[in-house]
Structure 1
C-alpha cells in the first residue's frame, strides 16, 4: 500500500518551496463555516491542527498558520504522476483514493526483495515529484493498509500475519482500519474494546452484533483478508452523492429543504451525465455537536430524477430530524447501474406507463417483420463530457487513470 503523506499540503509545498517547514493547512472559504481544515502539513499537526477542525479554532491554536484554498486540478496532476511511477513497476495497481493505492508486487518480488522495491518507489516519488509517502508491505490488503499507517511521514513498515497478536491485538478497536466510531460503540456493548478481543470473540456473538460485517471485521482482526488487488475497480461507480456544510447551524425547515433541493439537483445532474440510476437513496445529517446520522430507502425501480430524489430525501429527513441545529446535509444514490441495463419491474404503480408505449411497440414489431430485427432502435445517446460527469472530487482522479 502506497499512502501519500499529507498529500494536498505536500503538493502545495512542492509547488512553492517557501512553504516548506511551515505550518500550512488546506481549507474552504474561511469567511464561512465551510472553512474547515481539509488537511494540514506535519508542521501544523505538531501544533495541534487536525482535519475537520474549524478554521477559527485552528488560527487561535496556531496564529502563524498559513491557510490555502484547495487547488484540485493541481492535486489531480500530482496524483496522476504518482500512479504513473507506480505503473512502471507493475500493472497490478488498485487506486483507492487520489493519494493511495494497492500494488501486487508478487511477480517482481521473485527477483528483488520487497523492501528494496519499496525504498526505490519511495525515493523516486520523493525525488521526481518532491512528495513524501509511506509504504506498507504485507501479504494482504488489510495488513498492508495497517502497515502504511505505522510510520509517517516517509516510513516503510512490514506487517506479517504472525505479527498481528503482538502488534495489533493490544490496540483499541477504534484504531483498526474499517472500524468507525459507531461500530466501536456497538462493539463496546459486547465488551469488545481491543482488536485482540475482536479477534477472539465467538463467531456467533459478533454475527449477532454486526451481521456479515462483524464476521469480516473478526477475520481482519486475525490478519485474514482474501481480497485481491483489482485494477478494474477504477471502472466501477458504486454511488453518486453530494454534501454541503451549512453557513450556520440551521434550524429553519424551509432553508433545510432548499438545501436538499440543491443537493438533489447536483446528484441528478451527475447521474444523468454518467447515464446511471440507483436503487437506494441515503441522506446524511451532521448536527451542531458533530453527531452523524444517516437514513436510507431502497426502491423496487432505480431512480435518477431530481424531483424523486428530492422528495424521498426530504421524507427521510422528516422521519429522522428531531429539530436539533444542522451543520451538514448530504444525499447519496447508491447501488447504481447503467440505465440501459436497469430493468423496471412492472407493478400496479407503473403499468400505465408501459401501456402507453404499447402502440409504439406494435409499430416497431411491424417494421421489424418487414425489414428485419433491429431495423429500428431507440435514438442514439450522445455522451457529454462535463464536470458533472464526475461523481465527486474524491473520484475525479479515477478518470485520469483510465486514460493510461
Structure 2
C-alpha cells in the first residue's frame, strides 16, 4: 500500500498571529523578539526576509538590514491558543496526526484514497484552517515525512505541493543540500568542502562514503537524499506536565542541599522540555514533612524552558513553603501549562550568547548523557545517599 503523508506548516506563525490581531501589520516588515543590543529575532515576516532578516539573528543586525523593521515583543500565550485552534481542526478531520511543534504537523492518510482523494482532502483541510483561523498555511504531500517537509518548504508562502509516488528522487535532485532535513549549516559546509552542493550528488554517492565521513548520520543523509524515510507518524497526545520528585532515605533539614537539589531537578526538567520542544507557563514546588503533611505552591510564568529564568522561581517558591523548620521527607518540582515551542527561537528576552549556550549544553548532554554539563551547585548531588532524579515523569 502506498503511504500518503502530509506535512503542514503555518507560515511565519508568530507574525501571522500578530497580524490577525492587528491587520495594520499586514504586508509590512515585522519581527518577533528583542530589538536591543542583546535581543534576538524569534520570527519574521516574508517582507522582512527580503532584507536578509531571519530567525536567531541579533535584533541590532536585523534593524541595520531593515531600518523600517517593526519589532514586537511577542505573546506566547496567544500563539499557544492559535496553535490549539489549528490542532482541534486537524484532529476533527484526519485519522492520525503528529504535532512536532507549535506550528507544524504530520498527517498519515495512508489507505484513505479508497474513500476520497488524499490531495483533495488536504486542500480542503488547508482551506478550512484558513477560513476558520485566518492564518496562512502551507502543505506538502508525498509518500514520507522527509519529502513532504521539503515540498512544504518549496510551497511557501501559503501554498501546497504534491510529489507523486515514484518521483521523489528527481524532485529532490536539483535542490541544494540544505533543503534536506537534518542538514544544517555545519554539515552543509562539510559537504561543500567535499564538492557536494546539490542533492543529486548525494544520491549518486556510495552510501559507505558518507558513512565514513559522518558516521551513522551519513547513512541517514544518503537515505533522505534518495527520498527514503520509513519513520512513522506518531499519534499526537498532549502532555500536561513534567515533574520530578525525591523521597529521602533519611529526613533532612539541610537547606543548602535541598536548594542544590531543586536546582539540579529544574535543570534536568528544562533539558527534557527543550528536548521534547515544550515551554511551560506554570511552576510548582512541593514539600512533604516528616509528619507526612504535604504543601505545594505554584506561580504562573511567561512561557519558557530556560533554566536561568525558572531556577529563581523555584527557589522563591521553596522559601515561601519551608517555614515550619521541620525535617523534610520529600521534595518535588513540577512544570505545567505546557505548550509546544522551540526553545532556541522563543526566548524573547535572551541574548544570542544565551541561546547558543543552551544549544551547546543540550547537544553535549544528548551526546554524552544527561548531567554531562550542569551548574556547579549540583556537583556532588548524585553521590549523596539518595537519587535526585528518582521521580522524573
**TM-score, normalized by length of structure 2?**
0.63
Is 1:31 equivalent to 2:36 in the alignment? yes
Asked which structure has the greater RCO (Cα within 8 Å, sep 6+), the reply is: 2
Tell me the equivalent position of 1:353: 385
- Alignment partner, residue 19 of structure 1: 25
Contact 1:92 1:229 in 2 (8 A): yes
Q: CA deviation at 1:274?
A: 5.9
Q: Aligned-pair RMSD on alpha carbons?
A: 4.0
SS at match of 1:94: strand
2:157 aligns with: 153
Equivalences for residues 66-81 of structure 1 within 5 A:
66-81=70-85
1:185 aligns with 2:250: no
Q: What per-residue deviation string (whole Å, max 9, x for no partner) do you get for residues 119-147 of structure 1?
A: 21111111111100101001111111111
- 1:266-345 alignment to 2 at 5 Å? 272-273=333-334, 296=364, 309-311=374-376
Mark the structure with the bigger radius of gyration: 1
Partner of 1:5: 11
Unpaired stretches in structure 1, ≥5 consecutive residues: 243-259, 276-284, 315-348, 358-380, 384-388, 390-404
What is the rounded CA distance, in whole Å, between the counterparts of 1:199 and 1:300 in structure 2?
31
d(CA) in 2 for partners of 1:298 and 1:49?
30
Distance 1:161 1:179 in 2: 24
**What is the correspondence of 1:4-403 to structure 2 with a 5 Å cutoff?**
4-28=10-34, 30-33=35-38, 35-160=39-164, 162-232=166-236, 239-240=271-272, 262=308, 265=311, 272-273=333-334, 296=364, 309-311=374-376, 353=385
Task: Give structure 1 regions of 4+ aligned residues with deviation exceeding 6 angstroms.
Answer: 266-269, 285-288, 298-302
CA displacement 1:239-258 (0-9 Å, x = unmatched): 4267xxxxxxxxxxxxxxxx
Kindly state the Cα deviation for residue 101 of structure 1 after the two structures are TM-superposed.
0.6
CA contact (8 A) 1:187 1:209 kept: no
Structure 1 CA distance, aligned partners of 2:69 and 2:352?
Answer: 27
Question: Structure 1, residues 92-115: CA drift from partner, whole Å, max 9, x if none?
Answer: 110011001100122433222222
Instruction: Say whether the 8 Å CA contact 1:172–1:195 is kept in structure 2.
Output: yes
Q: Which runs of 5+ in 2 are unaligned?
A: 1-6, 243-268, 275-305, 316-331, 337-350
Distance 1:40 1:17 in 2: 16
Q: How many pairs align?
A: 291
CA 1:266–1:195 in structure 2 vs 1: closer, same or farther (change >3 Å)?
farther
Q: Distance in 1 between matches of 2:64 and 2:310?
A: 36
Q: Calculate the TM-score normalised by the size of structure 1.
A: 0.62
